[in-house]
Structure 1
Amino acid sequence: MASHCILLRHGTPVPEEQDPERPLSEQGHGEADSTASAITAYLKSAASERRVLIAHSGKLRARQTAEAVMKALLADGWEAVCEEKPGLSPNDEPAAALELIEGLPLVKVVVGHLPHVGKLAATMVKSPAAAGRLGGLFHPAGGLVLRRDSDGAAWVEAVEVACGESWWIKVVG
């Protein structure tokens, strides 16, 4: 059975001088909701497992983005849980997050920050040199779907998550 890992960057936050906790801005909430709906559409066609764990760094903007994904999945009849997990902060080493991901259910959504999500994606596809290219995919509320067909197999790029686009029908080549 295939595993899916959706790596997301949080939506656009308010400026730090406006609020030091940097919650999502109005635009960021819209981005998170749009991406959450798209994730639901993607998983309907790609995943047979209807249980999803959504992990986030604990920073407010990541939690709010993760909660938008959970809300969309629950509304569509998925079993979804949203939890703060260690190892997902902006400057954390990807190895800790990779260990976390390996212990999660078959379908997982990980909401984090730059530069961490780009480095994590490169680590998962076993191509450290790809960190810059992969990091460039992580626009606000955007990211990458990684897939693998069996435990221990390499993760492969499946689909680029692009907020506001019908990304779930575009396959990364």
Structure 2
Amino acid sequence: MKLYLVQHGKPVPKEKNPDRPLSEQGISDVEQVAIFLKKAQVKCFNILHSGKTRAQETAEILARALSPGTEPQQKDGLAPLDDVRPIAQWLKGENEDCMLVGHLPHLGKLVSYLVVHDVKTAVASFQQGCVVCLESGENAAWTLAWMIIPQIIT
């Protein structure tokens, strides 16, 4: 199973809009990442987001490119300060590739917990609009397969 962890794209400042939708740059960055992933033949039909506007918009852009016709769904437990253990436990029951669109510090802690079983040990350095791909192997162990950031492909 592959798990794609995505930090939402760059949002507008809170002062401009307290709901913090994606900025023009955020939209552009995520669209470029989506195009890159599509060319790399990444497919994912299970795309989940935190429910925050910037994460939902990011998930929608990715879904249009990677699984047209699929509607991303909100998933509890993906908010910035949520405990990562419930999501890690939920993943144990999943068999199909999954994409989680969320926020820091949650995503960073989730990667660390899944890979080295310690939320305080940094494993990946997330950036807005980036994708980290983990793969589960034997005994449901997770390894870091690859990571892409918008600056590399734009």
Give CA deviations for 1:129-153 in whole Å, capped at 9, x if unaligned: 664342x2x1111031001235x42
Aligned residues: 153
DSSP-derived class of the 1:132 partner: coil
Q: Identity rate of aligned residues, in percent?
A: 33
Give the gaps of 5 or more residues in structure 1.
167-173
Name 1:169's counterpart in structure 2.
Answer: none
Contact 1:53–1:104 under 8 Å retained in 2? no
TM-score by length of 1: 0.79
Give the gaps of 5 or more residues in structure 2.
none
Please state how far the C-alpha of 1:98 moved relative to its aligned partner.
1.4
> How large is the RMSD of aligned CA atoms in angstroms?
2.0
- 1:14-93 paired onto structure 2 within 5 Å: 14-42=12-40, 44=41, 52-75=45-68, 80-93=70-83
Within the candidate set 137, 142, 150, 1:149 is matched to: 137
Within the candidate set 1, 5, 17, 2:3 is matched to: 5
DSSP-derived class of the 1:72 partner: helix
Within the candidate set 103, 117, 121, 2:107 is matched to: 117
Please state how far the C-alpha of 1:41 moved relative to its aligned partner.
3.0
Contact 1:54–1:83 under 8 Å retained in 2? yes
DSSP-derived class of the 2:10 partner: coil
Kindly provide the amino acid, as one letter, of the partner of residue 60 in structure 2. Answer: E
TM-score by length of 2: 0.89
DSSP-derived class of the 2:78 partner: coil
Q: Does 1:161 align with 2:148?
A: yes
